Amino acid sequence: MALVPAVAGAAPGPAHPSASAAPAARELAVAIDGMRFVPAALAVRPGDRVTWINKDLVPHTVTARDGRFDSKAIAAGASFTWTASGKGHVDYACLYHPTMVATLTLP
C-alpha cells in the first residue's frame, strides 16, 4: 500500500463536498424593456432572488397567474424582488399590458 504525504495546511476531511449540500441562492434579474420581459423564460431554484427592473417609461406589474406573487405597480426606473419558492412553471404577466407574458421554471 502506498502512502500519500499530507499537504501542509490542508484540513482533513472528505475529498468531495457532500452531494446533499444545497447550492447557494443566486441573484437573477429580469428587465422590463420595450413592453416585454427579458428574458421571457428563466430557470430558477428555490431560494433564488429574482428582481424585475422596469426600464420602460410606463408602469407595469409582475403578477403570477397562480397567485405566488404580485408586484402591484412598478414605476419607471423602479424594481420588484421575489424569492423563488415552490416547484413547476410559474407563468406571469403584466396586468396593465396582458400581451406581456413570461415564465419562471423551478425544479
- The mean-pLDDT minimum among 3-12, 34-43, 54-63, 67-76 falls in 3-12
CATH number at residue 46: 2.60.40.420
- Chain centre to alpha carbon of residue 46: 8
In a domain, 89, yes or no: yes
Cα–Cα distance measured from residue 31 to residue 54, given in angstroms and rounded to the nearest whole number = 6
- Looking at the predicted structure, is the pLDDT value of residue 7 above 70? no
The pLDDT assigned to 23 comes to 81
Number of domains observed in the structure of the chain: 1
13 within domain boundaries: no
Judge whether 9 lies within some domain: no
Q: For residue 5, what pLDDT is reported?
A: 45
19 in any annotated domain = no
Q: Where are the alpha helices (DSSP H) in the chain?
A: none
CA distance 76 to 32: 9
Dump strand ranges (E) for 27-107. 27-32, 37-38, 41-43, 49-54, 63-64, 79-83, 88-93, 101-106
Q: Is residue 96 part of a domain?
A: yes
Domain that holds residue 58: 27-102
Is 58 within the bounds of a domain? Answer: yes
pTM: 0.80
